[in-house]
């Protein structure tokens, strides 16, 4: 046994010693084949994803839906919601398809395209909360969703992340205004609530309602003031365009006051369209329509 092992070791030494060039060439060839196989596998996986999306749309098959691996952090939640919604769908009804990669939307019936439009999708950026304990991830959800409701002239209620994001862009601190409290200002007044309004109350008790809009938030003494939900200053008109198709969990297909961003990955998760396109879809797409996002 020892003699056999010794002879084998000597053979390996001779192989790399006298035929080293051939040996290393063979090893390199093997590594190249492995790399090409990996690339082919990745391409095959991408093609399979597209095929599975097509099967999911045409078959509305829960087993296929379960098998699709979206590769997103919220994949399990999206697929769970998709299974719950599957019973309400019919294979012969129109549906919406959104490609995050191509940033394009199609409204289809079978293989016929009823309407097509460019879209903006989630930026994929992360905004870390104060203290770094958690973060907001601005991604468009993947999977099967459903149009749950429709709105004309939608009003946007900015989430907390909007104020954190805006404050950091401007180098400001963030101050949350809570009901029943007041934020002192350097001139001796306070910022507080009066009914559903955020007001500035001076030292003489005179109150002046404050105005707020996207990009023109309330700022005082180097702090961005975050109005409570339900106040007039926490409602922004026009930001979401002319119409909105709600998909649930705060996500929607909606218009925009910045049409130049359509076609880019710039949103905070919603699918953004030009106002003329969302108006057309609003008229065409009924509540309950499946929406496939991949």
244: its two tokens: 């909105």
CA 54/CA 72 separation, integer angstroms: 19
CATH architecture of 60-154+238-293: Beta Barrel (2.40)
Main-chain dihedrals φ then ψ at residue 19, nearest 5 degrees: -115, 35
Q: Per-residue pLDDT tens, the chain, 294 aa: give them.
A: 545 444 544 554 444 444 444 444 444 444 444 444 444 444 444 444 444 444 444 444 333 333 333 333 345 555 555 544 544 445 688 999 999 999 999 999 998 999 999 999 999 999 998 777 678 999 999 999 999 999 999 999 999 999 999 999 999 999 999 999 999 999 999 999 999 999 999 999 999 999 999 999 999 999 999 999 999 999 999 999 999 999 999 999 999 999 999 999 999 999 999 999 999 999 999 999 999 999
Determine how many CB atoms are found less than 10 A away from the CB of residue 87.
8
Query: What's the Cα-to-Cα distance from 170 to each of 52, 70, 114, 129, 239, rounded to whole Å?
Result: 45, 36, 44, 16, 20
Concatenating the DSSP letter of every residue in 197-210 gives EEEEE-TTS-EEE-
Helix (H, G, I), strand (E, B) or coil at 12: helix
Catalytically annotated residues = 254, 270
CA 214 to chain centre: 20
DSSP code, position 216: B
Best CA proximity match to 284, nearest among 164, 106, 76, 31 = 106
Q: Supply the pTM of this predicted model.
A: 0.69
Main-chain dihedrals φ then ψ at residue 112, nearest 5 degrees: -95, 130
CB crowding 196-227: b at 16 or more within 10 Å, else e? ebbbbbeeeeeeeebebeeeebbebeebbbbb
């Amino acid at each position: 046994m020892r003699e056999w092992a010794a002879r084998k070791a000597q053979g390996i030494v001779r192989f790399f010693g006298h035929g080293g060039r051939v040996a290393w060439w063979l090893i390199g060839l093997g590594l190249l084949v492995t790399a090409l196989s990996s690339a082919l596998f990745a391409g095959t996986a991408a093609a399979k994803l597209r095929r599975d999306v097509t099967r999911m749309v045409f078959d509305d098959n829960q087993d296929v839906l379960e098998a699709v691996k979206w590769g997103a952090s919220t994949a399990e939640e999206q697929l769970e919601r998709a299974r719950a919604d599957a019973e309400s769908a019919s294979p012969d009804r129109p549906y919406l398809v959104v490609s995050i990669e191509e940033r394009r939307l199609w409204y289809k019936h079978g293989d016929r395209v009823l309407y097509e439009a460019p879209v903006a999708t989630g930026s994929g950026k992360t905004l870390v909360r104060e203290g770094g304990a958690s973060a907001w991830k601005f991604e468009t959800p993947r999977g099967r969703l459903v149009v749950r409701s429709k709105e004309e002239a939608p009003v946007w209620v900015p989430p907390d992340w909007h104020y954190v994001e805006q404050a950091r862009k401007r180098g400001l601190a963030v101050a949350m205004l809570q009901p029943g409290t007041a934020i002192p200002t350097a001139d001796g007044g306070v910022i507080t609530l009066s009914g559903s309004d955020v007001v500035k109350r001076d030292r003489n008790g005179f109150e002046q309602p404050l105005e707020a809009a996207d990009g023109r938030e309330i700022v005082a003494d180097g702090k961005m003031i975050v109005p409570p939900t339900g106040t007039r200053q926490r409602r922004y008109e026009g930001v979401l365009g002319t119409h909105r198709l709600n998909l649930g969990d705060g996500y929607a297909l909606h218009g925009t006051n910045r049409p130049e961003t359509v076609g880019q990955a710039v949103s905070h998760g919603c699918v953004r369209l030009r106002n003329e396109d969302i108006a057309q879809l609003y008229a065409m797409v009924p509540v309950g329509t499946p929406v496939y996002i991949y």
